[in-house]
A and B are shown apart, each in its own frame.
Chain A
Amino acid sequence: MTAPRPYALLAEVTYRCPLHCPYCSNPVALPVAALLGEAPRRPQGGGYSNGELTTDEWKRVIREAAALGVLQIGFSGGEPLARRDLTELVHAAREANLYTNLITSGIGLDDDRVRDLRDAGLDSVQLSFQSDQPDLSDEIAGAHAHRRKLDVASKIRAAEISLSLNFVIHRRNIDRLPQMIELAESLGAERVELANVQFYGWAFLNRAALLPTREQVTRARAIAIAAKARPPRSMEIFYVLPDYYESRPKPCLNGWGQRYLTVNPIGDVLPCPTASSAIPDLHFENVRARNLDWIWRESESFTRFRGTDWMPEPCRSCPQREIDFGGCRCQAALLTGNATNTDPVCEFSPNRAIVDAILRDINSNDAARDWTYRVNPKELAVSS
């Protein structure tokens, strides 16, 4: 099928991060190059010492993305503020007429940097929070971060940049949904996103500790619906469902290679940020070797699941096939070992029993379980 135009680029500018959230969607086994060094020093030949793309390489990626039709860029990571050239990249994105979104923990955002980012044209900040409570939040993040985030939120307000609060919801914080919504309101956010954890990367590893119980999910859904309906709506509320508890899969990415592309810190171009770890047999192209236009239109990684021709039954003859696109390729790969299978969340999947077994396990024994904190690349490098 011919390639549509993409709308949004997720720029994962670094995997470095001061937090250690056990649900991080970054790959558990990071690309070797990202593990080698510390903070990027001077460019050495083709790139920084730790393998991250250089400022000029990112600027080229931004220009190529805009030429392809991209209208929005999300600067993400890791923690994008760990890149000292972030302001310069935001400026380059605004010059290319992209809507610029910073997806951040907020750690490293002082007055000067907020002002510089605003002056560079930053349109919106999505600030992560782990819960409404300082102690619980810091326990989840594996770092003393909550109070600093509160301070950062007020700096963003003061700079009059649009603010979203992003919470990842899981077993340890799902019972505090009303308080999390209150926190977002009290901080004057335009928007709050309450996203049930999706099981990729570190979250897949820590699923037994993170998956909420059915009872929790039922309660949370009622709270989210009530909050969304409550007038006056001073703030937009987005609630992302826990898909294991659904009977139909999420329309992942609105279809593979249809609207989104991700470029990771070392320049690999991914149809989805979790594809590199979830679908190891897929070969990903790199912006150092190819231009973005070719990668988007022609590469095997973007064309493999584009459209509906790749679908097996029961997707192939399903009336929903253009609505949910067979669900998530990464989830199919992680749970069934084959990315071409129907997402096993689907009630019609021959593999739905895998998801049901996971849910049975959690709901028959809801005792707290330990999780493994995300290790950040710098520490891995030091300890190795």
Chain B
Amino acid sequence: MRFIMLMAANPISDATQPRIAKGVRLQLDPATGKTVLLFPEGIVELNETAQEILSRCDGRTLSEIVRDLAEEYDADVAALAADVRETLADLNERKLIELT
């Protein structure tokens, strides 16, 4: 049996600046028109939410990213913030972004 521990420690704060990790590249896949993350021996195809978030991981803080997305999509800020945190936590767990 395998146990997977989900660690709730260090929730991502509003002031966190997520950045794409070293050795990871965000680019368009011309074959599909979708955005992908490329890293050593790996490729992740991004869904639209992840793509919208990652394209804003350029020094902006989490709260700025949420605000920008809320304006762009006319969405509820609280729900959006939860989505963004979840996506960033997943990408951070996979070492595809750095939280600074």
Contact = CB atoms under 8 A, between A and B. Distances in A.
Interface of A: 5, 7-8, 69, 71-72, 74, 97, 99, 101, 123-124, 126, 160-164, 190-191, 229, 231, 233, 236
Interface of B: 5, 7, 21-25, 27, 29-31, 36, 38-41, 43, 95
A101 B43 contact: no
B43 A72 contact: yes
Contacts of A160: 22
Contact of A236 (B7, B22, B31, B95): B95
Nearest to B93: A233
B23 A124 contact: yes
Contacts, number: 48
A304 to B, nearest CB: 24
A7 B43 contact: yes
For the complex of A and B, 8 pairs with smallest distance between CB atoms: A162-B23, A99-B38, A69-B31, A124-B40, A124-B23, A162-B22, A236-B95, A5-B31
A72 B41 contact: yes
Contacts of B29: 71
Contacts of B24: 162
Contact of B25 (A7, A123, A231, A236): A123
Given A71-B29, A190-B23, A164 B36 contact: no
Is chain B's binding surface mostly helix, strand, loop or mixed?
Answer: loop
B27 A97 contact: yes
A124 B42 CA distance: 12
A164 B25 CA distance: 16
Nearest to A225: B2
Given A5-B31, A99-B25, A190-B22, A231 B36 contact: no
Contacts of B30: 69, 97
A8 B7 CA distance: 34
A146 B82 CA distance: 48
A308 B63 CA distance: 50
B95 A190 contact: yes
A172 B39 CA distance: 31
Contacts of A7: 43
Contacts of A164: 40
Given A7-B43, A71-B38, A231-B7, 5 more contacts: A69-B30, A71-B43, A123-B25, A123-B40, A191-B95
Contacts of A97: 27, 30
